[in-house]
Amino acid sequence: MMGFASPWALVALITLAVPVALHWMRRRDLPIVEFPAVSLLKRAQANAHAKHRLVDLLLLLARLGLLASLCLGLAEPNWRIPIHFGNGQERSIVIVLDDSLSVTGRTPPVWPQALERARAILASLPRGSEAGLVWAGYPARLAAARSDELRLLPPLLDQTDTNAARGTDLVQAIRLAERELGSAPHALRQIVIISDFAEHTLSTDLQVASDIMLTREALVAPSQSQANAFIASARATPDPTQAAMLAISVEIQSQEMNGQRGTLRASRDDRLLFESPIEINNNGARIHRTIRALPSSPFVRLELDFEDALLADNTRWLLARPPSAIRVLIVDGDPQPVSERDEIRYLVRAIDLAPQTGGALSRRVVDPDTFESTSLEQTDVVILANVSAPSEVTASRLESFVRQGGGVWFTSGDQVDPRAYRARLGGLLPGRLLSARSADIQGPYPNPSAALLDGDTAGFTNTRTTRRHAWDELRANTEVPLHFSDGQPALLRFPVGQGQVAFLSTTVDEAWSNLPFQPGFLPLVVRTLRQLAPTTPLGDDIVATGTTLELRPPAGSDAIRVLGPNDQTWRFANAPTVPVVSFDQTNLSGPYRVEVLSRQSAPQQDDRLAFITAPPSEESLLNMPELVDDEPMPPGSPSLQGYRNEPMAVWAFLVAGLFAIFEGLLRLPQAPDIIRRLKWPPAGLRSRRKARRPVP
């Protein structure tokens, strides 16, 4: 619908009568000229008249069009466009669009409605307005900075990933929106939130600056059914009563589904593990089952068969694996044919007796020669028990291993040559290793200030040492968890790169001390190994979708490859300068596997690095609180408040310009010839005229 800002200018349309009148009057007021050769003139006129008549007609039309366009332009025409948002006032606006799971996965779907509403808002903005776009799914993201190029935003709405299962981060999204509007030029600044405004969105707590208008547009009516059942949590723990068995505990929560019955299915590698009937009582249910642990197949899929408002949360993955074990490689520096005489026997026993809580320990033993060719990929901690200085190549490999996060524990003995150690392993020593000396001294026992044994000396009361290595020039960041009675360090630990090195100044067998016989020996070994082991970046907890993880490729590997739920893959090279990989592709809910890549071996899946993502369980709570807001918007109803006037005057003047150019071209002397080249008059008419002309 067209309107005019200055309709009085339309009076000027009366001037259109002027060229018509002039044209008509000209015909009436022509002077009369006597001319005998009228017959010749008539014939000439007949030929020229057709094209000139057309030119005259076009001239008249061009002049009429020029005048009409000018009059219209002066009348300031505008096209009234009904708008579905706002009142046509220019504004700076940021649309906060909730792309969390509770919106994108809702049944019946509301996400298309959300996108359509966002498009309608953008289309309703008058020229000169600015708009930005923020995604409110976790983590909140700025999709488009505030800009007056409004046409650039709608394509972004088509790029959303509806497979993502994000939680909601509306609070941070509002902060991002506020920041975008901070320097907005318009007096009217507005944030529009398009969301389901479920309880988990914390929408009632949203606060914005007082000069920013906050508008909420709910996608779901409060009266709509929010009945939903979901797997709130699932855990697998080792069954203490059965080896290699895991106890599964599944918690189901619901709202508005009391009394409903359904089934929980568990499958692994597409094979059904169990089906368990469920009955919702008090908005919940619990399932406990036992399954066998399969290290090669740690992922278990759990499914509920309820038809509810959010089907995506009816499926959850479970990481069913034994707790991560620390892999210890023991290098026996003085292997004995009889194991009872082996100096590492106490060490091995302590590791084997280590409690499983806090992480198991797995060990393997090699001799020094074998160690030279042993790969350290599947190793977390290396214990060099009374080992002579390794070759330079091995020493270099060992240092690299530590710097990439591995742990190394040296223990003293008669095979340890301080000079050789200083020469080849100087980078891994906490100080200047001196020769071993006999001593009859108490200790080692815990340093009260050290956290290794919490200062508990009870297990080392009767420890005595007869021979030990001394130290000089300790590094500044060296920790001394154990010391002798004369203050000399007994156990030293200091960081090297991403890893740590420990050095026991005496033997782990009874050769130089009675330490292995002390009650505190076992916890000393276990705790030291756990401290030396690389930090396990992931536990068995579920990772919230959208979280950025730090993946630490195993020491000795060349790269890792992450395999996502939808068969996507990402590869990250292992670099000494970048030992930790930041992985943020966790939008999808499901299992993520990690393969370790090495030039020396085939790719191997490392279950210790595998993880599962899932949206936070509160995302499944779809209750809508009462919106305490002065601008409540019922869902689906366009806030039609009027029209937006799209000015059209520039187009009218542009058309006038075109008419002026056309009129000028028609007045050129060549215009009739051009018309003639356009074969006017038509060929049939020309031939008839030629026939009338007498043949000379």
Partner 1 sequence: MTDSPLDPTLAERVSHLTMKAQKAAEGLLSGIHRSPHRGASVVFVEHREYRPGDDLRLLDWRAYARSDRHHIKRFEQETHLHAHLILDRSGSMDFSAEDRPTKAAVAATLLAAVALILRGQGDACGYTIFDDELRDTAPPRMRPTHVNALLQALAKPPSRGHKTSLRNAIDHVSKTATRRGLIVLASDLLDVDNDALAALAHLTGRGHEAIVFHVMDTAELSFPYSQPARFLGLEGDGGIESHPEQVRDAYLEELKAFLDRQRNTCIRAGARYHLVDTGTRLEEALAAVLSHSQQPGFR
Which residues lie near partner 1 (CB under 8 A)?
26-27, 30-45, 47-49, 52, 672, 693-694, 696
| 644 membership: H or E segment, kind and range | strand 642-647
Nearer to partner 1, 1 or 678 (CB): 678
DSSP E strand boundaries for 179-325: 189-195, 212-218, 228-238, 245-255, 261-268, 271-279, 284-292, 299-304, 315-319
Alpha-carbon span 469 to 418, nearest angstrom? 9
Report how far residue 474's alpha carbon sits from residue 489's, in angstroms, rounded to the nearest whole number: 10
Q: Pick between residue 54 and residue 293 the one whose CB is nearest to partner 1.
A: 54
How is residue 686 written in tokens? 């020309």
Which of 32/628 has CB closer to partner 1? 32
The nearest distance, CB 56 to partner 1, in angstroms, is: 9
DSSP letters, 422-463, are HHHHGGG-SSEEEEEEEEEEE--EE-TT-SSSTT--GGGTT-
The whole-angstrom distance between residue 48's C-alpha and the CA centroid of its chain comes to 76
513 touches 506 (CB < 8 A): yes
Report, in Å, the least distance between residue 22 CB and partner 1. Answer: 12
Which residue number, 165 or 675, has a Cβ lying nearer to partner 1?
675
Instruction: Work out how close the CB of 119 gets to partner 1 at its nearest, in angstroms, rounded to a whole number.
Output: 57
Nearest to partner 1 of 62, 612 (CB atom): 62
Nearer to partner 1, 11 or 40 (CB): 40
Is the CB of 243 or the CB of 695 nearer to partner 1?
Answer: 695
For the purposes of burial, counting CB atoms within 10 Å of the CB of 265, is it exposed (0-12), middle (13-18) or buried (19 or more)? middle
Contact 337, 314 (CB under 8 A): no
- Residue (of 503, 533, 327) closest to 431 by Cα position: 503
Nearest approach in angstroms of CB 18 to partner 1 is 18
Q: Is the dihedral of CA 661, 663, 666, 669 positive or negative?
A: negative
Contact at 8 Å (CB) between 107 and 678? Answer: no
User: What are the backbone angles phi and psi of residue 232, rounded to the nearest 5°?
Assistant: -75, -40
Please say which residue, 602 or 695, places its beta carbon nearer to partner 1.
695
Cβ-based nearer residue to partner 1, 286 or 667: 667
According to the 3-state scheme, what is the secondary structure of 647-677? ECHHHHHHHHHHHHHHHHHHCCCCHHHHHHH
- Give the nearest distance from C-beta 656 to partner 1 in angstroms: 27
Q: Please give the span between the terminal C-alpha atoms of the chain, in angstroms, as a whole number.
A: 64
Closest distance to partner 1 from the beta carbon of 658 (Å) = 25
**Residue 27 or 599 having the CB closest to partner 1:** 27
For partner 1, give the closer residue by CB, 48 or 393.
Answer: 48
Residue 691 CB, shortest distance to partner 1, in Å, is: 15
Q: Least Å distance between CB 82 and partner 1? A: 52
> In sequence order, what are the residues at sequence separation of 6 or more whose Cβ sits closer than 8 angstroms to the Cβ of residue 73?
649, 650, 652, 653, 656
Residues 612 and 301: their CA atoms lie apart, in Å, by 11
CB of 80 to partner 1, least distance (A): 46
Q: What minimum distance in Å lies between the beta carbon of 641 and partner 1?
A: 59
Our CB check for partner 1 shows the closer of 5 and 57 to be 57
Measured from the CB atom, is 50 or 312 closer to partner 1? Answer: 50
Shortest distance in whole angstroms from residue 63 CB to partner 1: 17
Tokens in use for 264?
A: 């929980």
CA 388, distance to chain mean position in Å, is 49
In the complex with partner 1, which residue's Cβ is closer, 62 or 170?
62
Least distance CB 694 / partner 1 (angstroms): 6
Query: Measured from the CB of residue 15, what is the shortest distance to partner 1 in angstroms?
Result: 23
Minimal CA–CA distance to 640: which of 95, 8, 123? 123
- Which single residue is written with the structure tokens 């360090």? 489
**Phi and psi dihedrals of 201, rounded to 5?**
-75, -10
Q: How far is the CB of 67 from partner 1 (least distance, A)?
A: 22
Whether 306 contacts 230, CB under 8 Å = no
Phi and psi torsions of 606, nearest 5°: -105, 105
Tell me the closest approach of the beta carbon of residue 44 to partner 1, in angstroms. 4
Under a CB-based contact definition with an 8 Å cutoff, are residues 101 and 166 in contact? Answer: yes
How far is Cα 448 from Cα 657, in angstroms, rounded to an integer? Answer: 93
Of residues 42 and 677, the one with the C-beta less far from partner 1: 42
Q: Which is nearer to partner 1, 45 or 242 (CB)?
A: 45
DSSP β-ladder status, 130-135 and 92-97: parallel
**Cβ 436 vs Cβ 509: under 8 Å:** no
Question: Which residue type is seen at 172?
Answer: Q
| Residue 92 CA: distances (Å) to CA of 5, 132, 192, 218, 535 | 25, 8, 11, 21, 48
3-state secondary structure 588-606: CCEEEEEEEEECCEEEEEC
- The number of angstroms, rounded, from the C-alpha of 246 to the middle of its chain's C-alpha atoms is 32
Kind of pairing between the strands at 464-472 and 489-496:
unpaired
CB of 661 to partner 1, least distance (A): 22
- Whole-Å CA distances, 378 to 275, 347, 364, 553, 605: 37, 20, 11, 11, 11
Q: How far is the CB of 696 from partner 1 (least distance, A)?
A: 4
- Quick one: residue 545, left, alpha or beta (phi over 0 = left, psi -120 to 50 = alpha)? beta
Give start and end residues of each alpha helix (H) in 448-544. Answer: 521-532
